A = this chain, B = another copy of it.
Amino acid sequence: MAAEGAEENGRAAEVGPVARPTIRDVATRAGVSKSLVSLALQNAPRVAPQTRAAILAAAEELGYRRNAAAHALGAHRTRTIGVFVLDLHNPLTADVLDAVQAEARRRDYRTIIVVGGEDAAAERAELEKLLEFRVEGIIAVGHRLPDGADAAFTADCPAVIIGSDHRSTPHLASVSNDDVMGAGLAVDHLVSLGHERIACVDGGPSAVARDRRRGYRTAMRRHGLGDAIAVVKGSFTEDGGYRGASQALDLPERPTALFVVNDLAAMGAMAAVEDRGLSVPDDISVVGYDGTRLAGIRPIGLTTVGQPLQQMGTQAAARLCGQLDGEVCGQARTRLPPSLIERRTTARVLR
C-alpha cells in the first residue's frame, strides 16, 4: 500500500498538465465500453442499473472529472451562458448578478462572468472570449454596450441586456427600468420639497444617461421650471459625480438640489458639496439613481430612484435560458417601473 501511494505521488510530480482520467479509463476499470460510460454519466435512461452503478463507482474511484472542452465539442452544446459586466465597482452589478446566477442555476445552466470596462479593446477581447467559449447566450449588465457588441450578439448568439434599453438596437432583448419616468420621479420629489433650481449631473453619452437626462428635462418643463434646467457633464462613477457636481455648484445661480445619474456618482457629488463647505441636505439636496445597497447604507442614506434590480436579473436569465430551451418567450423588451426611495439626503428647501 505504501508502494502504491508512492507511485501515485510519482505521477503528480510529472511536468506539465497532470494526465487526468478519461472515460476510457473509467470504461476499462468498469469493464464496459466508452459509449456506455458516456451514457451512464449523462444519466441516460437505457443503461442497466447495475452497469450504471459499476460505472459510477469506477468514476468515483478514479476521481474522474468530465472535460468540458471535449464535452462541448462532442455535444455541440455548452449549456453555459456568459455574463458581461461593465463595472464591477458599481454595486448594482452584484445585486443583479446574484439574481442572474440563481435563476440560471435553477434552469441548469452554468454561468461564467467576464468583466470589461478598461478600454474598448479590452472589452472587445472579453466579449470575443465569451464567443470563443461558445456560450449559448450572453447577458450584459451596464449602462451601455461594449463596442461592436450589437453585431456580435445578433449574429452569434442570443443576448439580453440588463439595465439599458437601446433604442438604436431594437432587435436586442432587454430588461430595464423606465429611466425617463424614474428621472421624473426624482424631479417631482424635489419639487414637492420646494426646490426649483435643480441641476442634473449627467452620465455622458450612454443610452441610460440619455434617458435620465431626457426625463429630467421633461419633468422640469412640466413643472414650469424650464428656465432652471441645468445639465452638467458627469459619468457613472464617483469621480464623474464629483466633477459634475463641482461644476454645478459653481454655476452663477447655484442649484439647491442635484439629481445625479446614479448612486455611485451621487457619492462623489456629496463629496463635492462637502468640499465647498456646504452640507447635505441642509444646503443641497441630492438624489441618486439605481436603488443599490450602497444608497441604503446607514451613514449614507441616499434618496434614490430604485430599480427592481433582483427582479431584472431574474427576468433576464429566465428569458435567455427559456429561449435557449425553446420556450416561446414573450416580448423581447421588458421595461419595469422604478420607484422613489426617500431617505435623508433630500430636505425642504430653505427660503
Residues on B with beta carbons closer than 8 Å to the beta carbon of A299: 267, 270, 280, 299-300
Q: Are B69 and A134 in contact (CB under 8 A)?
A: yes
- How far, in whole Å, are A114 and B68 apart by their CA atoms in the complex? 15
A113 at the interface (CB under 8 A from B): yes
- How far, in whole Å, are A297 and B345 apart by their CA atoms in the complex? 15
Interface membership of chain A positions 87-110, coded 1 if the CB is closer than 8 angstroms to chain B and 0 otherwise: 011010111011001100100001
**CB neighbors of B among A131-153 (8 A):** 131-134, 136
A96: shortest Cβ distance to chain B, in Å? 10
- How far, in whole Å, are A63 and B154 apart by their CA atoms in the complex? 14
Binds B, one of A35-43, A71-79, A160-168, A198-206: A71-79
A244: shortest Cβ distance to chain B, in Å? 15
Q: Are B77 and A88 in contact (CB under 8 A)?
A: no
Q: Are A69 and B72 in contact (CB under 8 A)?
A: yes
- How far, in whole Å, are A102 and B125 apart by their CA atoms in the complex? 13
Among B110, B128, B155, B271, the residue within 8 A (CB) of A129 is B110
- How far, in whole Å, are A110 and B127 apart by their CA atoms in the complex? 12
Q: Are B267 and A134 in contact (CB under 8 A)?
A: no
A251 at the interface (CB under 8 A from B): no
A328 at the interface (CB under 8 A from B): no
Q: Are B114 and A113 in contact (CB under 8 A)?
A: yes
Number of interface residues of A (CB under 8 A): 60
A9: shortest Cβ distance to chain B, in Å? 11
Residues on B with beta carbons closer than 8 Å to the beta carbon of A254: none
A341: shortest Cβ distance to chain B, in Å? 16
Given A68-B69, A88-B97, are A113 and B113 neighbors across the interface (CB < 8 Å)? yes
A221 at the interface (CB under 8 A from B): no
A182: shortest Cβ distance to chain B, in Å? 22
Interface residues of A (CB under 8 A from B): 12, 16-18, 20, 63, 65-73, 76-78, 88-89, 91, 93-95, 97-98, 101-102, 105, 110-115, 118, 122, 125, 128-129, 131-134, 136, 155-157, 238, 267, 270-271, 274, 280, 293-294, 297-300
9 residue pairs from A and B, CB less than 8 Å apart:
A17-B134, A65-B131, A69-B133, A89-B98, A91-B91, A97-B115, A112-B113, A299-B299, A299-B300
